[in-house]
Structure 1
Amino acid sequence: MTDLVEKTLHSKTIFEGKVIDLRVDTVELPNGETSTREIVKHPGAVAVIALTDEGKLVLVQQYRKPLEKLLFEIPAGKLDPGEALETCALRELEEETGYRCRSIEHVVSFYTSPGFSDELIHIYFTDTLIRGERHLDEDEFLENYEVDLQEALQLLKEKKIDDAKTVYAVQYLQMQQ
């Protein structure tokens, strides 16, 4: 088998932000040539597929500036430094929706865009919700919705759900039926 590994020759951080860092690496390719790779460093995130007692999927709708549009999404957020995955999932669920839960289970983890980012998102599931109060971040503006599977599929068809984690959530629920 051919060695496909790219050896890093030089690495330079060109931006350090609140959410991401951007690095440019010079790499040696398997054929001996060199190239550059622009890499987004991300702390990782969690998302929660949350079902109400009525079997409705809890969604948040928020404006996503990079896309210049409103999206319906499952509750999610980035990991704080040193934070446990389950702790983050429970925190984000309550902050964004006001729901707490009696139990939560890990479903899957996946890289969102491995061609340029190391962001790893961890998806959790719960159907043991307890209503509480939302605690949005000061720069966070969103609306809560609860939809059944057919409504979620319609939002998918209308491209109002088109981020990977929420598309995955809808397909996951479809497979559970």
Structure 2
Amino acid sequence: MNILSSKTIHSWKRISLVEEHVELPNGQNITHTTIVHPGAAVILPITQSGDILLINQYRPSLKKWLLELPAGTIEENETPEVCAQRELEEETGYQAGRFTSLGQVTPLAGFCDEIQHLFVANDLALRNQRQCDDDEVIEVLTLSVEELEQKIIDGEISDTKTIACLGKARLCGYI
């Protein structure tokens, strides 16, 4: 793809809305708008007993609570694993002795360049009070894998990053 021109329409935090005039691989010229995102880390924290730590977070965009895995946006000069470590501790108060990468997913490829880096976190230890961002309202809870999967089946968990990370962990034999 050849970018003919590009302009930023709006920026907020580390996310931008960018309009580009591009030439596609087939030679056709189009205008395409992309949400430019620095990427994120998604963490599947597995307790010593095999249960999963989740967060119940109020999401103003949806105007409702969302049951999901801990996750967050990668900060400038931060690796995905360092982001995973930071977000796990900020959102749950837990640290992990071991992080294992499950690879990446692209959640919104039609209009966003975000890449989500998936991790399994093991050897958990509660270290301190949570340090949530000002715009985060979060409750921490623990579910068995079976309870978590039933909530997905029942539609109580609809968060795609949670479903993708859990599915990848299961396929890879981590749960």
Q: Which TM-score applies when normalising by structure 2?
A: 0.90
Query: Who is 1:136 aligned against?
Result: 132
Candidates 153, 157, 165, aligned match of 1:157 = 153
Aligned position for 2:7: 12
Paired residue for 1:55? 50
Tell me by how many angstroms 1:30 deviates.
4.2
CA contact (8 A) 1:26 1:36 kept: yes
Whole-angstrom CA distance in 2 between matches of 1:120 and 1:49: 17
CA distance in 2, matches of 1:65, 1:160: 18
Measured against aligned partners, the alpha-carbon deviations of 1:41-96 in whole angstroms (never above 9, x if no partner) come to 00111011111111111100112223232211110000110012221111100000
* Structure 1 CA distance for aligned equivalents of residues 166 and 135 of structure 2: 27
Aligned-partner Cα distance in 2 for 1:67–1:112: 17
Cα deviation for residue 124 of structure 1 reads 0.9
Q: Which of 146, 155, 163 pairs up with 1:167?
A: 163
SS at match of 1:102: strand
The answer to whether residue 122 in structure 2 is matched with residue 127 in structure 1 is: yes
Q: RMSD between aligned alpha carbons?
A: 1.6
Structure 1 residues without counterparts, runs of 5 or longer = 1-5
Contact 1:61 1:142 (8 Å CA) reproduced: yes
- 1:145 aligned partner, one-letter code: L
In structure 2, the residue matched to 1:89 is: 84
Task: Return the letter of the residue paired with 1:146.
Answer: T
| Paired amino acid for 2:43 | V
Where 1:55 maps in the other structure, the secondary structure is: coil
Read off the aligned partner of 1:42 and give its amino acid letter. Answer: H
Q: Give yes or no for the alignment of 1:66 onto 2:76.
A: no
Query: Which aligned runs of 4 or more in structure 1 are off by greater than 4 angstroms?
Result: none
**Given that residues 74 and 166 in structure 1 are in contact (C-alpha distance below 8 angstroms), is that contact kept between their aligned partners in structure 2?**
yes
- 2 CA distance for matches of 1:131 and 1:30? 51
Instruction: Give the unaligned 5+ runs of structure 2.
Output: none
Q: 1:114 aligns with which of 91, 109, 121?
A: 109
In 2, are the aligned partners of 1:14 and 1:22 still within 8 Å (CA)?
A: yes
Question: How far did residue 173 of structure 1 move?
Answer: 4.5
Question: Are the aligned partners of 2:43 and 2:84 in contact in 1 as well (CA < 8 Å)?
Answer: yes
- Deviation of residue 31 (structure 1)? 4.6
Aligned identity (percent) is: 36
Relative to structure 1, the CA distance from residue 97 to residue 37 in structure 2 (aligned partners, 3 Å threshold; closer, same or farther) is: same
The residue type equivalent to 1:163 in the other structure is D
1:22 to 9, 17, 26: 17
The structure whose Rg is larger is 1
